[in-house]
Structure 1
């Protein structure tokens, strides 16, 4: 069975929504969750780390397991575990059980994200793969804008627990969509062994590759330049900009608009501009946004108008680069794309865990500090990318 392009696009984008919905929907409800679970702000902030660390760890395994047993089965099992984890969060009587639910969400949420990337490379090559990756990113990018707005409405109208019941429903729908729509894209003849020796050799080859590691770091650090604002959203928007729990869209709608437009440009550039040119253009746009952000933070007082637009420009530049950088990394290991996607996701989410649990709280006290966080993230990303250029090659 051949799935129509539009249906495949919508399904892969939908599978990616679990990640941002698991993080962004409950950010506006932080004050309500703190009160409901009798938790401190720092304890609740650590629920982000409780999610992101196991999310990062399982990134190493989702793709490798799908290389052995097939893509479809891994996606369905992952969503089923996510349903149970979300129910635990929704019914948790204290912060400790809430952490446990978040850990289980982290262990399962990445299955669709990672395996979805491998599905793209199973079905498409070259320009077609870049276009689909860009289109998936473009459609998926709507979810970070919707998630916090929906979470704020649910927390205000019903309860913060309704947010996690909603996540259960989303995961159940994804199970049904995957079962009905998605064919198995990895033939049995192309599957890899799960024998420890074979796995160890694969991980050693991928994680021992300096250009692969540098490409993954370039993506993760690029992303971290604006992710610090997402992870600091309750403080950034409520304390610094004076907004309310239902006004998180002032940040998320603009940055998602930037992501959608950047992904659309990336898709248009496929076949028109070579990969290096696309990436160079993206870094130039992001650097301009970074400098504007730094200047405005020192020149003008905190407000939506002086703090948000340049973050939008940054996400635009980032989204021009990410599809090309992602495919460039996966194409280094054409016979282990699932494992390569796992390793790529592991590195990215490990960086995101550090940003959520360590870096963002250190920058909360000032919007200027957040602006410098963007500077460090982008400059480190560019350095990693330049290192990857020197030794890039296809391994097998």
Structure 2
């Protein structure tokens, strides 16, 4: 009992859920991902103004996401050993630089440099903010991660609206308005960092050694933990490559297949992403009540019927089906992060950075690969190919039961 108590005490810095902090980081997540979404929102504009191929469109997404992917686990690992609360506002400064550069970028190469800066900002923001959500959870980890994640998904969903209402009319320079979002996020992150710096448990990270055959206080062996992490990575792969395909190419598919305008296509993409934001909020509380494994299983595999139908139905039904697909699919990621954090207690930063990094990396790589394939086949082929990815949700059957990893 003593050993268990020693390990579980760092799980949260407070006995109750600190909602002001959770809402603060959720708002910053909204602002951060709104700024990130300006990149994909600009794709139709940049494709026409710079005469870009689909491969180049994919490379822009890849440059931003692979930067975040490679750096996030390193940021998380470093923070586990030597926490730096005031790195939170610093990360948003990189995003601010990227936004300003993107608004005036005259060439494809400068666009790449701009999105790399945005990627660095995300690499700093996500693992440390996820740790703050964990500390402020008061034990309600699924709920806290969902509050954190829903802000990001709402921000991502605003990209298509920005294209329809801003970029189609103003063009690339319209991105400059989002410097206001960056400055607001910096101010909020300073407040969060002040709370974070007062958490005494962050001053002295856990150094207790564990048995070589058992990982901390879970009931799983080290080999079982590694195997479970691999399964979770495959599930993240299925979700984020599909999401990346929709975010990057669904509007092109609608324009080509159904003859809608750029502006109209953005509203359809917004419907998908807005439904995803709502699904994110429900996923965490449901997992707290019905179990992580059950909701992960339902979320990813349950998306498959709708994703497979989406490229083959009329324009009206495409909107309906996409809403169901977005809602069901996006309830999974925050739960996967919490599930993995409970697998490896005491490594909150590393696990958060790893899974956010994997999500960004796979999303960016998937976008680049899909863009290259689209140049050699068609956008319709890409939509059909990616629609089968949620079937990988069947792998959730291999996950241990929640009770086997609980403290």
Cα distance in 2 for partners of 1:129, 1:120 equals 8
Gaps of 5+ in 1: 194-204
Cα distance in 2 for partners of 1:261, 1:109 equals 22
How high is the TM-score relative to the length of structure 1? 0.82
> How much has 1:18 moved relative to structure 2?
5.3
Cα distance in 2 for partners of 1:41, 1:67 equals 39
Q: Assess if the C-alpha contact under 8 Å between 2:30 and 2:155 holds in 1.
A: yes
Match of 2:256 among 239, 248, 256: 239
Match of 1:114 among 121, 127, 130: 127
Cα distance in 2 for partners of 1:235, 1:321 equals 27
Question: Partner of 1:72 in structure 2?
Answer: 85
Match of 2:291 among 271, 274, 289: 274
SS in 1 for 2:343: coil
Cα distance in 2 for partners of 1:288, 1:41 equals 27
Q: Assess if the C-alpha contact under 8 Å between 2:164 and 2:263 holds in 1.
A: yes
SS in 2 for 1:141: helix
Q: Assess if the C-alpha contact under 8 Å between 2:253 and 2:380 holds in 1.
A: yes
Relative to structure 1, is the Cα distance of residues 26 and 238 closer, same or farther in structure 2, using a 3 angstrom cutoff?
farther
Relative to structure 1, is the Cα distance of residues 343 and 268 closer, same or farther in structure 2, using a 3 angstrom cutoff?
closer
Q: Assess if the C-alpha contact under 8 Å between 1:63 and 1:342 holds in 2.
A: yes
Cα distance in 2 for partners of 1:272, 1:394 equals 16
Q: Assess if the C-alpha contact under 8 Å between 2:236 and 2:358 holds in 1.
A: no
Cα distance in 2 for partners of 1:329, 1:148 equals 32
Question: Partner of 2:64 in structure 1?
Answer: 51
> How much has 1:31 moved relative to structure 2?
4.4
Question: Partner of 2:368 in structure 1?
Answer: 357
Cα distance in 2 for partners of 1:293, 1:32 equals 25
- What are the residue-to-residue correspondences of 1:158-307 with 2, within 5 Å? 158-163=170-175, 165-182=176-193, 183-184=195-196, 186-187=199-200, 188-191=202-205, 209-283=226-300, 285-293=302-310, 297=312, 300=313, 303-307=314-318
SS in 2 for 1:389: coil
Match of 1:318 among 325, 329, 349: 329
Question: Partner of 2:109 in structure 1?
Answer: 96
Q: Assess if the C-alpha contact under 8 Å between 2:101 and 2:114 holds in 1.
A: yes
> How much has 1:395 moved relative to structure 2?
11
Cα distance in 2 for partners of 1:311, 1:89 equals 30
CA-to-aligned-CA distance 1:21-58 (integer Å, 9 cap, x gap): 34532444334334544654533442111111111111
Relative to structure 1, is the Cα distance of residues 45 and 135 closer, same or farther in structure 2, using a 3 angstrom cutoff?
same
> How much has 1:344 moved relative to structure 2?
1.3
Cα distance in 1 for partners of 2:114, 2:271 equals 31
How high is the TM-score relative to the length of structure 2? 0.80
Relative to structure 1, is the Cα distance of residues 184 and 6 closer, same or farther in structure 2, using a 3 angstrom cutoff?
closer
Q: Assess if the C-alpha contact under 8 Å between 1:66 and 1:74 holds in 2.
A: no
Cα distance in 2 for partners of 1:253, 1:234 equals 10
Cα distance in 2 for partners of 1:321, 1:259 equals 10
> How much has 1:177 moved relative to structure 2?
0.8
Match of 2:161 among 131, 145, 149: 149
> How much has 1:306 moved relative to structure 2?
3.3
Question: Partner of 2:6 in structure 1?
Answer: none
